[in-house]
Structures are given as structure tokens and as C-alpha cells.
């Protein structure tokens, strides 16, 4: 069965610091990977997606993710955290039948 | 384009009642899915459809029915509501296009339905 694992349910960073949110996927997940962001009481907004065209994917709001097949990872990064980045982030993989990770809540400390 | 429209946005049900959550998309997407979101558990797939007339179960299908009579609509039916079905429900539609080595794939979510079963 396909699975997506997010390491760390809560991550805290200082404003201006590097953001690193970790995501690993099982080898049975097709190479369609996504990161979504969810602000409180809102729906899911697509940050970026990987569809095999390039290993480094740039998304909105300064986020990017690198696909590493050898490590089955698709970690999300942002060089400098902003207060507005505080939200919950979800990694997901697959098509037709998409599997989500359990989410990582990002706290940004001023 | 309206995208994916879910109705209602909020609903309170009594245990044992039945209801249908509506989902409609106007993007002519082949694939549609229903998820439920619970704290600490991410989004879990309930049912999905790869085209009109074709549906399949996801991770947590018990207590829910779906049908896909048209490309546009994918309603989710709760047969006999239980407090364990209190959740936020999201509908999504998606497409896969292109015959190249890197086909494009997109996934669009509705704004969600917050359901409380008392």
C-alpha cells in the first residue's frame, strides 16, 4: 500500500530562519507528489507539485521541494521564514488515489 | 470557472439521520475524490471515481456511499450518521493530461463541509 510520511507533527522556527519540512513516500507511490498548505479554518492550497520534469520544484510564497528518488523523499524548504508562513503543511502523493501525510504544523517565532 | 463546489458548508445531524454532501466541478475533470480530515490524521480518502459510472473505495469507506452518474457531480451519502463521522469533508477533482514522459497532473479541492453528528 502506498504511504506518505511526514516527520514531525510540529516544527518551530524563528522568523528569518530556514524552514525544512520532511516528507518521505513509499516506493509504491506513483511519482506525483504535492505539498499543500492549510491556514486555520480554510481549505487546502497547492504550494507545489512534482511531475517528473525536474527534481527541484519551485512553488508559491518562496517554497521549493527537491525530489530524491534514492531517498524516497520530497522535503519542503524555504530559505527565510515569515510570520505569514505559520500554517499546517501536508505532503501528498499519487494520482487518482492520492495519499496524504498526517500534516506538520509550522510555528514561526518572532 | 467555479472550480469545485461543495454544499453545504456546515451541517449538524442527529445520530441515525442520513444526508448527502454535494460536490460539483465544472472543469471536466475525469477523477473525483472524497476525503475526511480529522485532527492529527491528515486527510483520509473515503471514495474516489475515475470517471462517470466508476467508483472505488478508499481508506475509510464504511458508512459512506457514492455514485458518479455524470462527470460533474460526485455526491457523498451518509447512510446512518454516527458521532464518529464528525469531521471536515473535502471533495477534490483532478486530471492527468499528455502522453509525454512528464504528463501534467492537477488536483483541485473544494472549500470543505464541516459536519457535526450529535
Does residue B101 register a pLDDT over 70?
A: no
10 Å CB burial of residue A72 (0-12, 13-18, 19+) is middle
Chain A interface, best mutation among B101, B107, B111, B114, by max A CB count within 10 A: B107
- Is A34–B35 a contact, with Cβ atoms under 8 angstroms apart? no
User: Which of A6, A96, A99 is most worth mutating to test chain B (most B CB atoms within 10 A of its CB)?
Assistant: A96
Q: Is A61 helix (H, G, I), strand (E, B) or coil?
A: helix
pLDDT at B87: 97
Listed residue (B75, B74, B76) closest to B30, CA to CA:
B74
Average pLDDT, chain B: 92
Given a cut of 70, whether residue B100 has pLDDT beyond it is: no
Q: Is the pLDDT of residue A27 over 80?
A: no
Contact A43 B90 (CB under 8 A): yes
For B103, the closest chain A residue by CA position comes to: A51
Does position B99 have pLDDT exceeding 70, yes or no? no
Return the pLDDT at B102: 64
Residue A43 has a pLDDT of: 87
DSSP state letter for B60? S
Is the per-residue pLDDT at A28 higher than 80?
no
- Nearest CB neighbour to A100, from listed B43, B56, B101: B43
Is A101's Cβ below 8 Å from some Cβ in B?
yes
What percentage of residues in chain B have a pLDDT greater than 70? 94
Residue B107, pLDDT score: 82
List, in order, residues 6 or more apart from B62 with CB less than 8 Å away: none
Judged by average pLDDT, the poorest of A49-58, A71-80, B34-43, B77-86 is: A49-58
Q: Which of A23-27, B15-19, B103-107 has the highest mean pLDDT?
A: B15-19
Nearest CA in chain B to A4: B42
- Quick one: average pLDDT of A20-47? 89
Q: Nearest 5 degrees, angle CA B28-CA A1-CA B107?
A: 20
CA distances, A41 to each of A87, B50, B100, B111 (Å): 11, 29, 38, 10
Assess whether pLDDT exceeds 70 at residue A24: yes
For the segment B25-59, what is each residue's pLDDT rounded down to a tens digit? 999 899 999 999 998 888 999 999 999 999 999 99
Cell digits for B5? 463546489
Nearest C-alpha of chain A: how many angstroms from B62? 17
How many Å apart are CA A74 and CA A25, to the nearest integer?
8
In the predicted model, is pLDDT for residue A58 greater than 90? yes
- Chain B residues 75-114 within an 8 A CB cutoff of chain A: 90, 92, 94, 96, 101-107, 109-112
The whole-number pLDDT of residue B96 equals 78
Binary contact (B40, A102; C-beta < 8 A): yes
Q: What is the mean pLDDT of residues B84-107?
A: 83
Task: Give the C-alpha separation, B72 to A54, whole Å.
Answer: 32
Residue B21 has pLDDT above 80, yes or no: yes
Per-residue pLDDT band for B1 (boundaries 50, 70, 90) equals: low
Amino acid at each position: 500500500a502506498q504511504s506518505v510520511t511526514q516527520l514531525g507533527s510540529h516544527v518551530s522556527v524563528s522568523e528569518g530562519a530556514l524552514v525544512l519540512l520532511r516528507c518521505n513516500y513509499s516506493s509504491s507511490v506513483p511519482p506525483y507528489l504535492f505539498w499543500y498548505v492549510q491556514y486555520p479554518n480554510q481549505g487546502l492550497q497547492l504550494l507545489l507539485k512534482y511531475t517528473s520534469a525536474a527534481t527541484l520544484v519551485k512553488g508559491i510564497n518562496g517554497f521549493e521541494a527537491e525530489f530524491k528518488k534514492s531517498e524516497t523523499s520530497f522535503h519542503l524548504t524555504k530559505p527565510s521564514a515569515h510570520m505569514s508562513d505559520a500554517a499546517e503543511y501536508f505532503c501528498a502523493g499519487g494520482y487518482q488515489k492520492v495519499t496524504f501525510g498526517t500534516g506538520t504544523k509550522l510555528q514561526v517565532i518572532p | 470557472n467555479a472550480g469545485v463546489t461543495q454544499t453545504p458548508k456546515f451541517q449538524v445531524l442527529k445520530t441515525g439521520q442520513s444526508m448527502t454532501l454535494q460536490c460539483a466541478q465544472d472543469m471536466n475533470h475525469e477523477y473525483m475524490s472524497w476525503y475526511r480530515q480529522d485532527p492529527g490524521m491528515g486527510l483520509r480518502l473515503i471514495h474516489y471515481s475515475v470517471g462517470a459510472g466508476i467508483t472505488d473505495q478508499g481508506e475509510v469507506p464504511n458508512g459512506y456511499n457514492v455514485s458518479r452518474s455524470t462527470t460533474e457531480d460526485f455526491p457523498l451519502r451518509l447512510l446512518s450518521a454516527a458521532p464518529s463521522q464528525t469531521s471536515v469533508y473535502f471533495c477534490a477533482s483532478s486530471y492527468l493530461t499528455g502522453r509525454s514522459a512528464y504528463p501534467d497532473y492537477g488536483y483541485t479541492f473544494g472549500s470543505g463541509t464541516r459536519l457535526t453528528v450529535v
